[in-house]
Amino acid sequence: MAVLIDKNVAIPMRDGVVLKADVYRPEGAGRFPVLLQRTPYNKEFLPIVAMTLDPIRAAAAGYAVVIQDVRGRWASEGEVFSPYGHEEADGADTLDWIARQPFCDGNIGAYGLSYMGGTTWLCAVSGHPALKAISPTTAPNDFWRDHFWRDGVAHLGTLAVWALRTIGPAALVRIGLDPATFGGRLTELVAAVDHFGDTLRQRPLNALAAAHPEDPRFVPFLFEILRHPTPDAWTESLLFSDRHPQVRVPALIIAGWHDLLLNADLSHYAGMRQRGGSAEAREHTRLVVGPWAHAMFLNQVGQVDFGFRSSGYLLDLREDLTLLQLRWFDRWLRAVDHPATPRVRIFVQGLNHWRDLDDWPLAPVVRQPWYLGAGGSLTPQPPTAEEAPDAYVYDPEDPCPTCGGNLLMPLQYTPGPVDQAPILGRRDVLTYTSAPLTEDLEIIGEVRMVLYASSSARDTDWVVKLCDQHPDGSTLNLCDGVARVSYQCARSGSSYQPGDAPPWEISLWSTAAVIPAGHRLRVVVTSSDFPRYDRNPNTGENPCSATTSEPALQRVFHTPDRPSRIELPIVPR
């Protein structure tokens, strides 16, 4: 079927601002179901807007597709881009406009990756009667909890690269300003991202903002975010924030085990299953989780090739992500019957195959503790004797460097599973390793750490990684977690004094993997992961405004009354 593309179609918002969209539709007269994507990344840049659903293929299949530049970006009007600040109202207005168009048959679906997944959820809360289904991929939920922060720690690397490389320079191009004259030192600010680690190492961190004018035409939100290191009314006013009861349509949620928004996607699924705004939404929401990192849907993730079946472009040798979503929208926008889609489909790493589940989390699983022990041991048996704690010094001026994980950072920082060899010999890293496994160990679900640890500092961080040590000695990270002492105390209403060693409960998020017999489990404990996360200065000050730091003596306990352990969700055999 031939496809027509109408460029820069004007869509007026309720306040008079005009947003521009490109409309892909089958050639000839007719009314069609419509798919909507709203993006800050340029509606014309197909490598991003077509990454998970190709609009040309969709139009050839009988859909009209509307791809819109959000307010303040690219061809759309609006002086200032404010992340998610206008997306709910603008999304509702755009749905209204689409529903009135002669090419629309009254059935609309919304979709998109990352930020566009966020706009998809915000379209859904409108309750617009024409919106029949959504397909958000790796989409944020709560602005503070699972977007730019994690358990009290700032996703500094993500925030900086997104603001200074993705959003900021495009803002200058859009308004045609000469970077050399804009704000005096703006060119230096943007170029500093090329020296990412050094740039984010400066103190105070908010000097990155203070040294440059807060001109709204660049990235004022960067400076605003740095002023909100804890959740408050401002952060709660943004994004979706668990409003699943307002969503009355089913969602096809696509996620990745090594994606920085994995926890958001899983919380979306749980929210829809438990509190979706209609029986249809609760019963028919679906979840697909591949082994992918953010915006990377190939079979190679980090240093691991998971096989062709894992690729988003050849899912289980059956279809790609475009066809998966078109089948989804066929069901809800065109009432076309396709073979039943499993409620949950996950990729099991290690086995390297897809597995269909009745629901998430998987049941039954056995919560199996593996205990840290003397000499760096890791065993299913709890400690029975008093043992001296392990200790290291965490110096914020020499932080443990980022090495794999759920990242969105410059390409020199490889996301996903990466050999941890570069950090294992550091003085501020502890490792605990099991004996070789005598049988395969299948882990599916949330991994949690109970860490009995003390610090000589008034505040500090704990970073924990679960790894698979291969027989050749390579140590590949599987999942990880981070916790800030001050945030955990504030959340629980407890207090902390230097030297206290309470049980710190740390979520390593979820995974699905088989650790084969002959491999070893390995747990890595440290206090920093930089520049992925901001550095805790150990002084009790806000890391954004701290001008100094001090080293801290960290102790990890593994005794009968302080049994540090990692708790694994094991699938019984």
Q: Which amino acid is at 482?
A: V
Q: At what angle do helices 87-99 and 115-124 cross, to 10 degrees?
A: 70
Do 449 and 567 meet the contact criterion of CB atoms below 8 Å apart?
Answer: yes
Q: Is the pLDDT of residue 194 over 80?
A: no
Catalytic residue among 90, 93, 151, 259: 259
Tell me the DSSP string of 518-544.
Answer: T-EEEEEEES--BTTSPPP-SSSS-TT
Domain shared by 453 and 515, yes or no: yes
Residues 481 and 564 placed together within one structural domain of the fold:
yes
Q: Are residues 26 and 95 in the same domain?
A: yes
In this structure, what CATH number is given to the domain that contains residue 385?
2.60.120.260
The yes-or-no verdict on residue 308 having pLDDT over 80 is: yes
Residues 181 and 279 in one domain: no
Q: Is residue 309 part of a domain?
A: no
Residue at which a domain ends, from 210, 229, 248 = 229
pLDDT at residue 452 in the model: 98
Please check whether residue 299 lies inside any domain of the structure.
no
Task: Tell me if 353 is assigned to some domain.
Answer: no
The radius of gyration computed from the CA coordinates of the chain, to the nearest angstrom, equals 24
Same domain, 418 and 518: yes
Count of domains for the chain: 3
Judged against a pLDDT cut of 70, whether residue 343 lies above it is answered with yes
- Domain match, 521 and 479 both: yes
Specify if 348 maps to a domain.
no
Give me the chain's average pLDDT, please: 93
> Among residues 76, 114, 267, 527, which one is catalytic?
114
Q: Determine the Cα–Cα distance for residues 300 and 328; give it in Å rounded to an integer.
A: 26
Provide the CB-side half-sphere exposure for 164 (13 A, CA). 25
Q: How far apart are the two ends of the chain, measured CA to CA in Å?
A: 50
Q: What is the pLDDT of residue 466?
A: 99
Q: pLDDT band at residue 173, thresholds of 50, 70 and 90? A: confident
406 and 486 both lie in a single domain: yes
Residue range 278-283: mean pLDDT, rounded? 98
Does position 223 have pLDDT exceeding 80, yes or no? no
Using DSSP's 3-state secondary structure scheme, residue 450 falls into: strand
What average pLDDT does range 96-120 have in this prediction?
A: 98
State whether 404 and 379 are in the same domain: yes
Residue 267 known to be catalytic: no
Least trusted range by pLDDT, from 93-102, 211-220, 336-345: 211-220
Clarify whether residues 101 and 49 are in a common domain: yes
For residue 351, being part of any structural domain is answered with no
Residue 522 token pair: 């390995």
Q: Are residues 375 and 508 in the same domain?
A: yes
The verdict on residue 346 lying in a domain is no
Q: How far apart are the C-alpha atoms of 200 and 205, rounded to whole Å?
A: 7
Tokens 């759309």, residue located: 76
Rounded average pLDDT over 306-313: 96
Q: What is the pLDDT of residues 36-84, one digit of tens each?
A: 999 999 999 999 999 999 999 999 999 999 999 999 999 999 988 889 9
SS3 content of the chain, % helix, strand, coil (to 5): 25, 30, 45
Q: For this structure, is 294 an active site residue? A: yes
CATH number of the CATH domain containing 29:
3.40.50.1820
Task: Say if 358 falls within a structural domain.
Answer: no
Q: Spell out a b/e string for 45-61, using b for 16 or more CB atoms within 10 Å of the CB, else e.
A: eeebbbbbbbbebbbeb
Residue 550 lies in domain: 366-570
Active-site residue (options: 294, 390, 455, 459): 294
Q: Are residues 427 and 474 in the same domain?
A: yes
Q: What is the pLDDT of residue 186?
A: 58
Q: State yes or no: pLDDT of 324 exceeds 70.
A: yes
115-137: average pLDDT? 98
Same domain as 210, residue 245: no
- Residue 238 above 90 pLDDT? no
Of the residues 288, 304, 321, the one at which a domain ends: 288
If you average pLDDT over residues 243-256, what whole number do you get? 98
Residue 216's pLDDT is what?
Answer: 58
pTM: 0.96
Q: Kindly report, residue by residue over 452-488, the tens digit of the pLDDT.
A: 999 999 999 999 999 999 999 999 999 999 999 999 9
114 carries an active-site annotation: yes
